[in-house]
Amino acid sequence: KQEVTQIPAALSVPEGENLVLNCSFTDSAIYNLQWFRQDPGKGLTSLLLIQSSQREQTSGRLNASLDKSSGRSTLYIAASQPGDSATYLCARHNYGQNFVFGPGTRLSVLP
Amino acid sequence: GAVVSQHPSWVICKSGTSVKIECRSLDFQATTMFWYRQFPKQSLMLMATSNEGSKATYEQGVEKDKFLINHASLTLSTLTVTSAHPEDSSFYICSARGSVYAYEQYFGPGTRLTVT
C-alpha cells in the first residue's frame, strides 16, 4: 500500500523563524513529489514539484528536497511570515498513476 | 498556466436530494479527470478517475451508484451526489491531466457541499 506521512501534524512558530516540514513515503520508486499549500476552505496551490531524477527545487523562500533512498522529502521555509499560515500537503505520484497525499501539516506563523 | 474551475464553489442541499458539481479545464483538453473528497482536517482521498468517453474507475469503498461521474467531453466532468445524506457533506476537489503521458495534474478550487 502506498503511504505518505507528514510530521509534524501541526506547527506554530513566531514570525521570522526558519522551519522544516517533513514528508515520508514508503515506495522509493516514485516519479514525482509535489508540495501544495491549502488555505482553509480553499483548493490546492502547487508550490514545488520535484521530479524523480531531481534532488531539490527552490522558489523564493521555499526549498524542497527529495531523498528517494530514505523515502523522505523536506520543505524548508525561510524567514516565515504570517501569510505562510496554511496547511501544507505533500503528494507523491508515479507515472500514469494517481496522486497519493499525505495528511498535511497545519502551520501557524504568529506575528 | 493550466486552469481548472469548479461550479458551484459551495452548495447546500436537503437530505435525499441530488446535487451536481462541474469540473472544467479552461485552457487545455483533459483526457483524465480525478475526483477527490476531503473531510475537515483530513487529507484528500481519491474517489474516482474518469477518462473522456469512458466509465469512471472508482476507488475501493466509493459507491458508484451514489457518486455518478460523467466525463462526456475533454473539458468537462461532472460529479452527481445522488440521494445525499449529511455524511456526504465534504469538500470535493477535482483535478485534470492533459494526456495519459502527462504527470502533472491541475487542481480545481473545490466545492463545499453541505447536506442538511
Q: Which pLDDT score is estimated for A1?
A: 58
Closest-CA residue of chain B to A39: B109
Instruction: Indicate the pairing of strand B90-97 with strand B76-81.
Output: unpaired
Instruction: Give the pLDDT band (50/70/90) at residue A32.
Output: confident
- State chain A's mean pLDDT as an integer: 90
Amino acid identity of residue B42, one-letter, is Q
Measured CA to CA, the distance from residue A102 to residue A25 in angstroms comes to 9
Q: What phi and psi, each to the nearest 5 degrees, are found at residue B87?
A: -70, -10
Percent of chain B beyond pLDDT 90?
A: 71
Instruction: Give the pLDDT band (50/70/90) at residue B101.
Output: low
**Is the Cβ–Cβ distance between B91 and A41 less than 8 Å?**
yes
Q: Which of B43, B100, B112 is nearest residue A102 as measured by Cβ atoms?
A: B43
CA distances from B28 to B9, B80, B105 (A): 21, 23, 12
User: How close A81 gets to chain B, by Cα (Å)?
Assistant: 22
